[in-house]
Structure 1
Amino acid sequence: MAVASENAASLPYHEPGIVLILVFSSFLLLLNVINAILDGVLYCGLLGQVLIGIAWGTPGAKWLSAEVEENLVQLGYLGLILLVYEGGLHTSFQSLKANLLLSSGVALTGICIPIGLSYTLQGLLDATPVQAFAAGAALCSTSLGTTFTVLGSSGLSSSRLGVVLTSAAMMDDVVGLVMVQVISNLGGENFNAITIIRPVLVSIAFAVVAPVACLFVLKPVTLWLNRYRETHPSAALNDLLRKTQTAFTFHTALLVALVAGASYAGTSNLFAAYIAGATISWWDSEVPHTDTVTKARSAPPKGKSEATTSSSDASSGYIAGPSNRKDATASRTPAESAQAAQPTQAADLHEEIDKLCGAAIYEQYYYQAVSKILQPLFFASIGFSIPITRMFRGAIVWRGIVYTILMAFAKIVCGLWLVRLSVAPMKTVRRLLKEFKFPSIPHLWGKSKAEVTASQVSTTTPIGPPTAETVAAPSAPTSSCERRSSPSPAKPLSIHPPLILALAMCARGEIGFLISAVAESNGIFSPSGVTSSDPSDIFLVVTWAIVLCTIIGPLGVGLSVRRVKKLQDRKNKQQEGAGRDVLGVWGVE
């Protein structure tokens, strides 16, 4: 393959040979075929994509050149950013606010225990404390790409369980990406406290500045635009803001700006992608939107003919014959006309909001490219980095399996946060907490649940005896982009919620490989502290743990979700949809 020099005016075009065409086409086709097969059976098609990457890449047949693999890694990472961005778009803020402390506890457990158990490498491989810490840093992360893919294929993305898992995995990865900066400087001479503190402070700044900017900048601007659009329903700005292309431009600009800003500031661009998606989700669900579209449609212009008015009446549900259409129209009072047009206007408004919300824009512009090309390339690129031919020495295999068991246990412990104990002391604590009433505190992201409920009652409940109109008035349809609050908590029928959480946290994936590769390239894992062409034993053992945990996690989640669906179907048949759900409160949105 000819390569253009740096001083060339352009890249010479060469028609690719039939061998390259067959390699690339089979690579992309098999990535999607094996994903569809395994997703349909076990909800873990990403494992097949990792195996295809091993087979086609450097660890296997070497059908893809090193230059091509580097380009595919970059495209795959773009898919990872969009996967995390999609996860932010599906964030339910009612569940996030209600489970923030729980998610923090899960994340803290998933960080501390792997690092603590990694010091067993001092006995397994005579590792130094710094080497053990670097190995633990690699294994304390949780694969965001794997997490969002598994939740999406299993249909649990917007459930309470999915929110807890997503936020905990995000916290783990933010810490893991901070560890990358720490590990990259442990082997150098310029190690200082700033290299550790800067990523931490920048991450905290992004987490604090984003909600403040939403509350004091984005929300006031949106409310001002709402007032302007209501007073100028025929303005060009109103038509512009109703286009999907405008929403796509704003959403993409926000994503690119936050990702670029986070990268230059020194924190995780994946964290910034999640904040971008969560910001758009908050704007869709928590900020009021104007109904100028329905107002403009319902207000007929001056000089409108009687035939046109009759036609609009017919479209509103008042269909009458030629003889009685005028009588039917004349017999309606203004209040009845407004009430008859109300459901249609509400439906139009929610349809307009649905079309412009973040999830709908992602579905229209991003989903096909991400799901069919970029996401498969990302998981295949993980397979490129697995040194499969060096990992099967006897001393490496058994140490890798032992370390894998320890690291799997370190993440499975996270599931204990979802286990509801029924012992007497716990019952006493719950009873005391129920009797003690905490005051309602407003949140930055919106009103508290009690305030929302009170405001809904005050605005929807009429004063005085109910009339026939208020009883028969249909309720407005609910937008699919509006987040629903959880119903009254119900205990699950099984231990599947903590099991799914524990197994999903097991997958390490891209961040684990990144941290271990940085430690290896800086000579931290080498006995002499100097990099060499052959991988060190610690690096191979850590790679064993990352690979096996990334296989065990999605496979276990897939089997567990499959079992949950069978139990749910059986319950629906036996009890005709009544009774508690299998996942209980963890399965609701």
Structure 2
Amino acid sequence: MGSPGGPGGRGYGVRCLRPNSHPSDAITEAKTENRRASLPIMVGNCDFRIGVSKCNALHEVASRPVFRHHQRRHNTFQSSLSSRQFEVQFFNASNTLDSMPETTYEAPSVPTLLTLSSFLYLNSAASSLFDRLIHANLLGPLFVGIIYGPQVANILPSDALTTFINVGYIGLLLIVFEAGLTTDLSLLVANIALSVVTALTGIMFPIGFSFFLLYFGFGYTVLEAFAAGASLSSTSLGTTLALLPTRMRRTRVGAVLMSAALLDDIVGLVIAAIIVQLAANGSTGMVPWYVIVRPILVSLAFAGGVPALAYLVRAVVPEALLRRPSFRAPPAQLLLLVAVLSGIVAGANYAGTSELFGAYLAGIFLSILFEAVAPTSDSDSASSVVTPAGVHPTLEAYEVLLTPVQNRLLAPLFFASVGVALPIRSLGRVEGSSAVVWKGIVFSILMVLCKAVVGVWMLIWPDAAGGRGWFGSRRGPSPRHEDYEDRTQSEKDARKSRRWSAALLGMAMIPRGEIALIVAQLARPLLSPEGEGDSEPFAVVIWAILVTTVGGALGIGFMLGKRAF
């Protein structure tokens, strides 16, 4: 018997043109309009199996080596189990089921090594440089990705692009996971209503104003206007969290910002599903109710179920185990981190909600699990047990083992992959017209304002302490004269802090980034007349994505740099 695929190691596929056999021949007649079946085989006197694609049924005998011999005569194939014949077409099929290609180890060429190594190094170097100069480290890798990508220099090989995009997405998941791990749950729950209002405002304004500008102003169709606004309705969770320091995440504005951005991501998932339905069916297509309801219900179930499960596990697991030094050591915590993060992210995705939301909940889960036994550094008791690092054990493992890789490799790769995916060639001229430039700039400014306006809610909404709202704190009993000046100065500082928080909230909601790119690509059949290629509506959306991402990152970096967090 020769090797699979014959002496040359290559296989042949056989395509049945008129399958009309009996089930004993291993193929049940297809009940679909497409009546063709693919039959990968091995050449020579060796066994082979039949695989049927695009058919409703396949007889179970197909899983056994039922064809012992075959003959190729005048493009016919004769089974050894019956005399029935099939008219077939033989073709070279190196990728069929029974002719798996061999993988050989070959040293990459020197140009490939130099290209990949320079890309990785420049990502890290540009991130550090932009962080030092303008406190916006993500912009460096973003520009490196644009330059190396297919739209500008086209330096990176296509297979490397796919790999970097996939690895970079791991960096995004870790960014969101860290945010969940460092979240103050009490602060998050106390401001959940403000977060919902902020998120809904940031979603409805871009869609509504996009419709008025693009439909009434630029003359686009209703579907094009809706698709453009929908693409720009979600905030880039990765951009916002990457620029937000850990200390800021434990403040009121940080809690509101993170939860509002997460709600944006969930709603973005619903919008993406609606876009897919509209792209497939056009304006006459009806969007099934479950497309809208399922992500919302699943997200609510995960939001309540994951924290509840964490409290249940903490109640069941003996506290002595959670306090055991070997269990709290970074290697053990890293194993637990990977298991919990992988499980919840996969569960969230398969259940129908956002995997980024799952990553955030994974951080919440581990934060709750070790909350009671986590060492504290701000206790007044001299007998408090404090580990050398003085931090949450999972957070300590993350900072010791993952943060160096995250900051130098994974996070820069993620932002570089966003730059790689930006189709910036269409920004200057589309269909022979440069009108896309001024239209893109006008639309970008509008999209900046539509998100920046959400910061007003921080001024209007009263906080839990003192009920401070638009007009400051509520009046209580008249203060004593000697306390008046101190109180006046305190209120001035509070109003100044609230204005800064409102400005930061509005600025941090501006970047669109990866979420907008995903939705825009899904909406491309609606934004392009032919469903492919460049069109003015699609180019206008890309303009807005680029301007909001870069401008928002610059604004956040400037504000945090001045605040010196």
| Count of residue pairs brought into register by the alignment | 439
Q: Which residue of 2 aligns with 1:247?
A: 333
Per the alignment, in what secondary structure is the counterpart of residue 156 of structure 1?
helix
Does the Cα contact within 8 Å between 1:39 and 1:45 map onto a contact in 2?
Answer: yes
Distance 1:405 1:362, change over 3 A: same
Q: Distance in 2 between matches of 1:209 and 1:408?
A: 35
Per the alignment, in what secondary structure is the counterpart of residue 126 of structure 1?
coil
Question: Are residue 431 (structure 1) and residue 482 (structure 2) matched?
Answer: no
Question: Are residue 36 (structure 1) and residue 131 (structure 2) matched?
Answer: no
Distance 1:263 1:421, change over 3 A: closer
Structure 2: stretches of 5+ with no match in the other structure: 1-93, 463-467, 478-489
> What is the letter of the counterpart of residue 525 of structure 1?
L
Per the alignment, in what secondary structure is the counterpart of residue 52 of structure 1?
helix
> What is the letter of the counterpart of residue 494 of structure 2?
K
Q: Residues 502-517 of structure 1: matches in 2 within 5 Å?
A: 502-517=506-521
Distance 1:10 1:171, change over 3 A: same
> What is the letter of the counterpart of residue 541 of structure 1?
V
Residue 108 of structure 1 is aligned with which of 200, 205, 228? 200
Q: Which residue of 1 aligns with 2:86?
A: none
Does the Cα contact within 8 Å between 2:330 and 2:400 map onto a contact in 1?
Answer: no
1:103 CA drift (Å): 1.7
1:29 CA drift (Å): 1.2
Residue 204 of structure 1 is aligned with which of 300, 321, 325? 300
> What is the letter of the counterpart of residue 386 of structure 1?
L
1:5 CA drift (Å): 5.4
Q: Distance in 1 between matches of 2:388 and 2:472?
A: 48
Does the Cα contact within 8 Å between 1:177 and 1:511 map onto a contact in 2?
Answer: no
Pick the structure with more strand per residue.
2
Per the alignment, in what secondary structure is the counterpart of residue 540 of structure 2?
helix
Q: Distance in 2 between matches of 1:535 and 1:563?
A: 41
Q: Distance in 1 between matches of 2:278 and 2:304?
A: 29
1:151 CA drift (Å): 0.7
Residue 369 of structure 2 is aligned with which of 273, 277, 283? 283
Q: Distance in 2 between matches of 1:421 and 1:283?
A: 32
How far does the alpha carbon of each residue in 1:300-338 deviate from its partner, in whole angstroms, 9 at most, with x for none? Answer: xxxxxxxxxxxxxxxxxxxxxxxxxxxxxxxxxxxxxxx
1:279 CA drift (Å): 1.7
Q: Which residue of 2 aligns with 1:493?
A: 496
Does the Cα contact within 8 Å between 2:330 and 2:396 map onto a contact in 1?
Answer: no
> What is the letter of the counterpart of residue 145 of structure 1?
G
Q: Could you say what the CA RMSD is over the residues aligned between the two structures, in angstroms? A: 3.0
Q: Distance in 2 between matches of 1:427 and 1:374?
A: 42
Distance 1:212 1:426, change over 3 A: closer
1:430 CA drift (Å): 5.7
Does the Cα contact within 8 Å between 1:404 and 1:545 map onto a contact in 2?
Answer: yes
- Higher RCO (C-alpha 8 Å, min separation 6): 1
1:497 CA drift (Å): 1.9
1:104 CA drift (Å): 1.8
Q: Distance in 2 between matches of 1:67 and 1:46?
A: 23
Q: Distance in 2 between matches of 1:289 and 1:155?
A: 18
Distance 1:375 1:396, change over 3 A: same
Pick the structure with more helix per residue.
1
Question: Are residue 130 (structure 1) and residue 223 (structure 2) matched?
Answer: yes
Does the Cα contact within 8 Å between 2:270 and 2:291 map onto a contact in 1?
Answer: no
> What is the letter of the counterpart of residue 316 of structure 2?
V
Per the alignment, in what secondary structure is the counterpart of residue 419 of structure 2?
helix
1:96 CA drift (Å): 1.3
Does the Cα contact within 8 Å between 1:140 and 1:176 map onto a contact in 2?
Answer: yes
How far does the alpha carbon of each residue in 1:83-131 deviate from its partner, in whole angstroms, 9 at most, with x for none? Answer: 1101111101232122222222211211111111110211244323232
Q: Residues 528-567 of structure 1: matches in 2 within 5 Å?
A: 530-532=530-532, 534-565=533-564
Q: Distance in 2 between matches of 1:113 and 1:206?
A: 28
TM-score by length of 2: 0.72
> What is the letter of the counterpart of residue 306 of structure 2?
A
1:20 CA drift (Å): 1.1
Does the Cα contact within 8 Å between 1:247 and 1:356 map onto a contact in 2?
Answer: no
Q: Distance in 2 between matches of 1:211 and 1:10?
A: 47
Per the alignment, in what secondary structure is the counterpart of residue 351 of structure 1?
coil
Q: Distance in 2 between matches of 1:155 and 1:427?
A: 25
TM-score by length of 1: 0.69
Distance 1:356 1:557, change over 3 A: closer
Q: Which residue of 2 aligns with 1:265?
A: 351
> What is the letter of the counterpart of residue 85 of structure 1?
F
Question: Are residue 384 (structure 1) and residue 383 (structure 2) matched?
Answer: no
Structure 1 stretch 172-181 or stretch 118-127: which is displaced more?
118-127
Per the alignment, in what secondary structure is the counterpart of residue 14 of structure 1?
coil
Question: Are residue 175 (structure 1) and residue 178 (structure 2) matched?
Answer: no
> What is the letter of the counterpart of residue 510 of structure 1?
E
How far does the alpha carbon of each residue in 1:48-106 deviate from its partner, in whole angstroms, 9 at most, with x for none? Answer: 21111010110111011222211111111111111110111110123212222222221
Q: Distance in 1 between matches of 2:326 and 2:128?
A: 39
Q: Which residue of 2 aligns with 1:73?
A: 165
How far does the alpha carbon of each residue in 1:187-234 deviate from its partner, in whole angstroms, 9 at most, with x for none? Answer: 22484222222222211211121232233x223114xx02x669xx9x
Q: Which residue of 1 aligns with 2:63?
A: none
Q: Distance in 1 between matches of 2:328 and 2:184?
A: 24
Q: Distance in 2 between matches of 1:502 and 1:426?
A: 17
Distance 1:65 1:283, change over 3 A: same
Residue 239 of structure 2 is aligned with which of 141, 146, 150? 146
Per the alignment, in what secondary structure is the counterpart of residue 474 of structure 2?
helix
Q: Which residue of 2 aligns with 1:331?
A: none
Residue 94 of structure 1 is aligned with which of 186, 202, 209? 186
- Percent identical pairs in the alignment equals 35
> What is the letter of the counterpart of residue 540 of structure 1?
A
Residue 221 of structure 1 is aligned with which of 295, 316, 334? 316
> What is the letter of the counterpart of residue 531 of structure 1?
G
Does the Cα contact within 8 Å between 1:181 and 1:199 map onto a contact in 2?
Answer: no
Structure 1 stretch 249-258 or stretch 188-197: which is displaced more?
188-197
Structure 1 stretch 194-203 or stretch 266-275: which is displaced more?
194-203
1:160 CA drift (Å): 2.7
> What is the letter of the counterpart of residue 363 of structure 2?
G
> What is the letter of the counterpart of residue 535 of structure 1?
D
Q: Distance in 2 between matches of 1:239 and 1:553?
A: 43
Does the Cα contact within 8 Å between 2:295 and 2:352 map onto a contact in 1?
Answer: yes
Q: Distance in 2 between matches of 1:148 and 1:489?
A: 29
